[in-house]
Each structure stands twice: as C-alpha cells, then as structure tokens.
Structure 1
Amino acid sequence: MKQQKRNIFGLALASITIVISLVAAVTGYLLPDQLMNNLETLQLDQLPQIQSEVLPLQLIIVGNLILTIVALLFYVSAIRNAGESQVIYIDRHSDEDNSEEIIASEEQHRTYWDSGLVERIFNESNQLKEGLEKVLHKLCKELEAGQGALYLIEEQEEIKKAIFQAGYAFSVGESSKFEIEQGDGIIGQCIKEGQAYNLNKIPEGYIRILSGLGESNPTALAVLPILSEGQVLGVVEIASFTAFTSQDIDFINHVLNQLVEQLPKPAALAKS
C-alpha cells in the first residue's frame, strides 16, 4: 500500500514538472516579443519594468529545476526500497513452493501418532477387530482416502491367507469371511513377497478385479505389508482418487510399525 502511494505521488510530481516545463517554454518563446515592444520606448526609469517581465520566467525555470531534482531523488529512493522490501505472495497450493507446508503437515501427523495413539485405541477397545477398525478409520481420514481394508494373516497347513478384519467405506458383512490366499492378486503377492505396492495409475476396473475393494474405481492404490522381524503379520490396502506420495507411504509404514505391537502372531490368530 505504501509503495502504491509513493508511485502515485511520484507520477503526480512528474506530471506537474512536465506542465511547468511547457509553461516555461511558452513563456520563453513569447518573451522576446514582449521585450521588443517595451524597448521601443525604453527609458532608464523603466528598468524595473523589464526586470518584472523577466522575473516570472526566472522563477519558473528555477522552480522547474528544483522539482526535477526532487523527482529524480524520489525515484532513485523508490527503486532502491522496492528492491529491498517488496514481498511477493505465492499461492500456498503451488506444486513447487509448498514443500515447507508439506513438511509441517507431516510433522503434525508424526507427533499425533507418536503420542501413543495406537496403543490408546487398543486399550479402549474391547476386541481386536474393534481396535483395527478405529486405527484404519483414522489412518484413512488422515490420508483423505476413499476406501481401505486391513487383513491379518492365518497359516493353515503351511498356506498363508489374508483374512479381512477391518474396512473403511468397505464391508463384507458380519456373516461372511473374506480371505485371499498367498500369491493371489496384489494382496496375495504382498503376502508372498513382503513387498509394498504403490500404484498411482490404475485403469478403470483394475482394482475391482485384483483387489478386495469391491466396485469402486479409484485411481491410486497402496498395498503395504505389516511386518515384524521379516514376518508378514497382515496387509493394509488403501485406495484413493489422488496419487500417494512417498511421504504418504512413509506415514502409513510409520503407523503400521506401531500397529505391530498390538497384533497376534499368525499361528495364534488361526487358533482364536
């Protein structure tokens, strides 16, 4: 605002200087004729009259010179201050300039979950599935995901299966038991290899065929194993309509590392 006022003042000053210069030029052009008319009958006692004719031009020229100097000094000062103090505001949602905001947001997430949130959730839950539901719901909301599913591993005759335990915007019904064998689809491969999958370009219908997330058609899918000392205890599957960043994947792993402490071993789960 101050800079804008200075620019307006400078423009006004420059305009005044130009007008005065025009007046001085016109006056200077007409002065010879005025002097010649007076000199025809010039007497010594008329010298003050000549001086009075010249004085306006002198004052105009001196005033114009002073204003010009002031205007030049003003603009030099304005240019210098603009280079030192001008602030440029950038859109906070710019892909290139919001790294500090992303880092701050990640720190908030990390502090929120580092405060023992997962442990408190399970302490307040009556059953394992209830605790898993609450953790999955909070995780999906943090990521603004569309759907999510959490599976725990059962071993039956040396065959590992992912048994559905909790869902976010997804359910298989209380009377149904949804399971995926090792090696089947993305979840089965995750069980077999203990490897995470981050798919950010999924054709329509791909998730419906190869995952347990039903009829939805999100564009991004993250499937991560829940690992304990190299052993796969479970799998979490989260779908979204926006791509998962590397920071998102790190955050999911951070939460899953806390969840491990609350999970039974696959053999114990099979007996329950």
Structure 2
Amino acid sequence: MKTTQKRTNIREKTIHTVYKVPVIIAASVMVFTFSLILILENQYPNILSLIGVLETKDFNRETYLLTLGYIDLVFVMILFYLIFNNNQVFNIILGVVFLFLSFFSTSRLYGLPEEILNALERKDDKTYLQIMDLSGPTFYTIGFTFAVLIFLLFRLISQLMKDREDHIIYVPKYFSKENQNREEEAKDTFRERGQLIKKNIQASILNREEGDDKEQTLLNSICREFQVSTGIYYKTTVVDGKNMISFSKGFSFYLPESQTLSYEFGEGLPGQVAATRSSIISNTIPDNYIKVVSGLGDSTPSSLMIAPILDADANLLGVVELASFKNFTPEDREILDKVTIWFTES
C-alpha cells in the first residue's frame, strides 16, 4: 500500500510539473490582457465597443470596471499560486489581498445607502436616516464578521512566519544496553569478516605458484571469498581516442577468443563505474545480462557488485564486476573497495 501511494504521489507530481509552465504562461497572458484593458478603459472609455470586440456601452460603468478588475485579480492570484506553491510567500500574499478586499468591501457597504439615494435622486435627511437605521444591524454584523476573520488571518500569518524549527518535534532516541551490545557485536563481526577476507586474498597472492597470473589469482580469490558465481576484471584502454574498459580476466565466465567485451566510459553499469569511479550494488539485473551455465542449465544471477580499481594517485586502472545469486550488502562493497588496490601492485 505504501509503495502504491508513493508511486501515485510521484505520478501526480510529474503531471503537475508538466502542466505548470503552460498554465503559468496562460495566466501571465490573461493578467497582461485584462490589465491592458483596464488601463485603456480609463484612458478611452468603452474601448472594446470602439474596436468592435464587445458592446459595453449598455453596461453599468462602475460594475463593468470592477468585474474587469476582479477577473484580473483572479489570474494574478493563480499566477502567484503557481509560482509560490506550498510556500509561505503565497499565504502572506493571499492574506494581504484578503485584508485589502475586506476594507474595500466594508467601505462600499457603509456607503451603499447614500449611493442608492443619489441614484434615486432622494436626498432628504429623513429617508437617509431611515435607511441607515434599517441597514445598521446588517452592517454591524458584517463588520464584526470581518473583524473575526482578520484576527484569524493575523493568527495564521504569525504562525506561518515562525521559524520552521518550531514545528520540528524532536524525539529522543534511547538505546538499551542490549541494543548497544548488538550494534557493537555487528561492528566486530563485520570488522573480523573484512580482516579475514583480506588475509585470505593476500595469502592466495603470496602463495601462488611461479608462473601463475597474479591478476587471475587475485580475481579467483576475491570471487571465492565473496562466494560469487561469476567475476570479470576489465582493464582500461584507449580505442580511437575513446576511454574504454575491456575484458581481461574472468572467473566462471567464458568468452570466445573471436569475441570482445568492452564498454565506453559511461556505457552500461561497468562503464558508469569507470566514469564515476565509485562502486555500486544492483539487485535488479536485466535478463540475459550474465548467464551462469552448469550441468543443470543456465540462470541469471540476482545481484551485481561493481567496483573501480584505483591506484594510490586515484588513477583508474580497471573495473571488477561480481555477480551472485545472493544480494550483496554495503559491507561487501566496503570490503571490495579495500582489496581492489592489490590489482595495482606489481
């Protein structure tokens, strides 16, 4: 369930990213268009009627301009939302806009009775006072509501402006004596295993018979110590001006003399290790990547561990690739990084 949810979130984020730029461009165009119309309307009233786009002469002038302004404001807010999404800046901008509209709406409401009287050409004080008496409770209710909303808004903004560290919950981590002992035992076991592997590999090099290939002996010993099914040692070469790694030695790996196995730096997993000069572990191996052939048939290993061979000056001399039916661990990679240095020693 967690994996499905994570994939869904990634998919939604990807869709949001794909459509974000076009929507920002569209919102920017709309903001520019409506802002331009507002500017032209103030300079040349009913400009849309004059150019034959929209008949605006019959519209209420003030309502028409307010409508244009609010539409423009909507696209401005959309633009800010897309730019400052999930950001405190957008929340603060939204709060400022709300405050402005609150004060503007309140002032318009309190001036509404007088505007109605002026529109009806009724300017006697008695009628004005009657309208004010009738609308007074409504105005007070609306004013109080706006006051509560503004108070809540200030509370929200002040909360958002706080340092993020205030929202971090620090959970102390306690270790029992037993847990500490287990961790120390695991570290000791890893240290002892690493020392044993290095000791066995070094012994196989020192005890090899005269005439035995050192690189082949070293590769065989590494493969036996890590209990892998297949091992390959690549050497760095330059072909037509391109940096390559080419097959040099193999453990349980057959390559006909008529064939070659080479990777350009950055090509395939071995080429990536050569380019980055850092070891990797991959527990997802493509079909037919490496086949282990036996009397029972052939099968594909489940895990790869590939490490660069660097000399004392950090020059890349080659790459070692190991394949196993059991998954390699980060501890395996750490040990392999330490023993590959012996490929550089004469």
Aligned residues: 160
In structure 1, runs of 5+ residues without a counterpart are 1-93, 263-272
**How far apart in 2 are the matches of 1:136 and 1:175?**
23
Match of 2:9 in 1: none
How far 1:120 moved relative to its partner? 5.6
Structure 1 equivalent of residue 211 of structure 2: 125
The residue type equivalent to 1:163 in the other structure is: S
**Contact preservation (8 Å) 1:147, 1:169:** yes
Q: Is the contact between residue 291 and residue 301 of structure 2 (CA under 8 Å) also seen in structure 1?
A: no
> 2:275 aligns to what?
192
Aligned residue for 1:234? 318
- The AA in structure 2 aligned to 1:124 is E
Q: Which amino acid aligns with 1:125?
A: G
TM-score by length of 2: 0.41
TM-score computed with the length of structure 1 as normaliser: 0.51
Identity %: 22
Match runs of 1:121-200 below 5 Å: 121=208, 124-125=210-211, 130-199=213-282
Distance 1:197 1:212 in 2: 20
Matches of 2:232 and 2:221 in 1, distance apart?
12
Change (3 A) 1:155 1:170: same
Q: Distance in 1 between matches of 2:214 and 2:281?
A: 25
Which structure is richer in relative contact order (CA contacts within 8 A, separation 6 or more)? 1
Unaligned runs of 5+ in 2: 1-181
Structure 2 residue aligned with 1:67: none
SS in structure 2 at match of 1:136: helix
CA contact (8 A) 1:144 1:240 kept: yes
Distance, in Å, in 1 between the alignment partners of 2:278 and 2:242 is: 18
Q: Counterpart amino acid of 1:169?
A: S
- Aligned partners of 1:148 and 1:213 also within 8 Å: no
CA RMSD of aligned residues (A): 3.0
**Does 2:104 align with 1:104?**
no
Shift of 1:113: 3.6
Selected match of 1:225 from 308, 313, 329: 308
Shift of residue 139 of structure 1?
Answer: 0.6
**Residue equivalent to 2:327:** 243
* Contact 1:132-1:165 at 8 Å conserved across structures: no
